[in-house]
Amino acid sequence: MVGDRYDIIEAEPPRGPRRWIGIAVLAALVAVPVFGLLTSREPDAVAPFPEPVPAPPRVTVTAVSNVLHPKPRYKNGREILDVVFPDGSKAEVSYPAELGLAKLGVRPAQGAWLDGYFSLFRQLTAPPGGPAEVSQGNPMIRRLSERVTLWQPTSAAEGHVLLFAFDPWYVALHDLKNGMTYEQRLLWAENLHGRVTKSGYLVLEGRPPVRLARPGQDFKGEQVGPQLWFGGARETLVVLVPVPGCDVRTIQLPMIEQRRRFSAETCQDGVYVAASGERGHVERVIAGIMIKAGA
């Protein structure tokens, strides 16, 4: 075969002194850098570890009071409140001043559906501690919109929590354990709105496919229409619910029944009133409260 000018022709390795000289030169070239590396290090020196990367700082959620303390009017030893329910309906509530319902504070609650999804009902409530009560020290998962954030479940039996900010109110939607898809959460975030009245009450508004429960509407036998909750926790809890044709024998309120404390109820001018707590205080509330719907 004829090779061109760039072909390399294999040949036998050189014999004799030239072979040993080549090996010696190669060994010297390898030994010099290795020796330099060894002599440049101290006997006990250890290669430094990379600098640790600091974890992103945890966002601190400040506790705020997510409760309205309305200013009552006074007449003949009674306090009078002009309340606004989450659907915008109004009522005048009066009671003996010593009962102090205004001091207990009031929060809105209302049920709602996501139309187009079978049985996708969720309850909207105002956690007394606002974002801090929802976060429980955990970081926010993500922001769904400018005013809606997503948080970890608050109990092992529940799913994630959507928290709506309607300044200064915060409204929580607790999902079920195996609950909504990301797209369904976005529908809530984009179509549930709120406005605050001059007196500080929150009014909720839903655009399709979000549908808010109407006064007197129930779900699985429980009242889920617009409500106002006074007090709670270890205090007396008083719940007002507009129910056309109100009949105490047919109404169930889980937040009253689940407290397992003494409770009583009454109907006044189409508004259902239930109270739970210390027996004497509850009896005085039910006996002394007076309501005028639409006032």
Q: What is the pLDDT of residues 188-244, one digit of tens each?
A: 999 999 999 999 999 999 999 999 999 999 999 999 999 999 998 788 999 999 999
The answer to whether the bond into 127 is cis (omega within 30° of 0) is no
Q: Do 242 and 89 touch, CB atoms closer than 8 A?
A: yes
- Report the candidate in 119, 122, 185 with the shortest Cα–Cα distance to residue 150: 185
- Dump pLDDT digits (tens) for 31-69: 444 334 334 444 444 444 444 444 444 455 777 899 999
Q: Do 86 and 204 touch, CB atoms closer than 8 A?
A: yes
pTM (2 d.p.):
0.79
Q: Residue 5 is encoded by which pair of tokens?
A: 């000018």
- Residue 260 has a pLDDT of 83
CA distance 214 to 235: 28
Q: Residue 191 is encoded by which pair of tokens?
A: 């179509």
Q: Please give the share of the chain, as a percent, with pLDDT higher than 70.
A: 80
- Residue 60 has a pLDDT of 57
- Is the pLDDT reported for residue 27 higher than 80? no
